[in-house]
Amino acid sequence: MPSLRRKRFASANGAPGNAFIDEEIVPGVEDLLATLDRWGLCSNKLPEAGASELDRLGWTPTAQSFARGAPKSLVPVLADLGVTGPDVLYVGDTDHDRACARDVRATFALAGWNPRAAPVDGELVLQDPAEVLDLLG
């Protein structure tokens, strides 16, 4: 789970200055999450680090799973949500994410807004978090 917020010093007009501000790094993610009735998170982070990150972001997923030193898996998230893989859209940005989706037959969409995400030929690539809502209909 990438850090989607950052804190930086800025003046009132946005230039570097002396005020400490908190800003959304990926515009639209928080609006998307606020729109969803329920959502889950699957991360390679250790549980303590993942819980700290969720707390810092103010996010409360319906279900969450942290890797605990093993490869991450969507299975516990799906069980907690009471859904099966084919019912799920999994948005990720790594090969590990692709594998998680493939393992449970979930639809995978690449988070193309992340500059480190590298698309694979024929892959569904999202450029904006709001596109998730279009896919969910």
Q: Contacts for 59-63 with beta carbons within 8 Å, 24 or more apart?
A: 59/33, 62/38, 63/38
CA distance 39 to 18: 37
Q: What is the CATH number of the domain that holds 128?
A: 3.40.50.1000
The answer to the question of residue 5 being in a domain is no
Lowest mean pLDDT, pick from 3-12, 79-88, 95-104: 3-12
Q: How confident is the model at residue 24 (pLDDT cuts 50, 70, 90)?
A: low
Give the 3-state secondary structure of residue 25: coil
Alpha carbon 23 to chain centroid distance? 17
Examine the pLDDT at 11 and tell me if it is beyond 50.
no
36 assigned to some structural domain: yes
Q: Which structural domain, as residue segments, surrounds residue 113? A: 26-136
Number of domains in the chain: 1
Q: What is the pLDDT of residues 93-127, one digit of tens each?
A: 999 999 999 999 999 999 999 888 999 999 999 99
> Residue 70: inside a domain, yes or no?
yes
- The one-letter amino acid code at 104 reads V
Q: What is the pLDDT of residues 32-66, one digit of tens each?
A: 999 999 999 999 888 999 999 898 888 899 999 99
Torsion angle (degrees, nearest 10) of CA 90, 94, 96, 101? 20
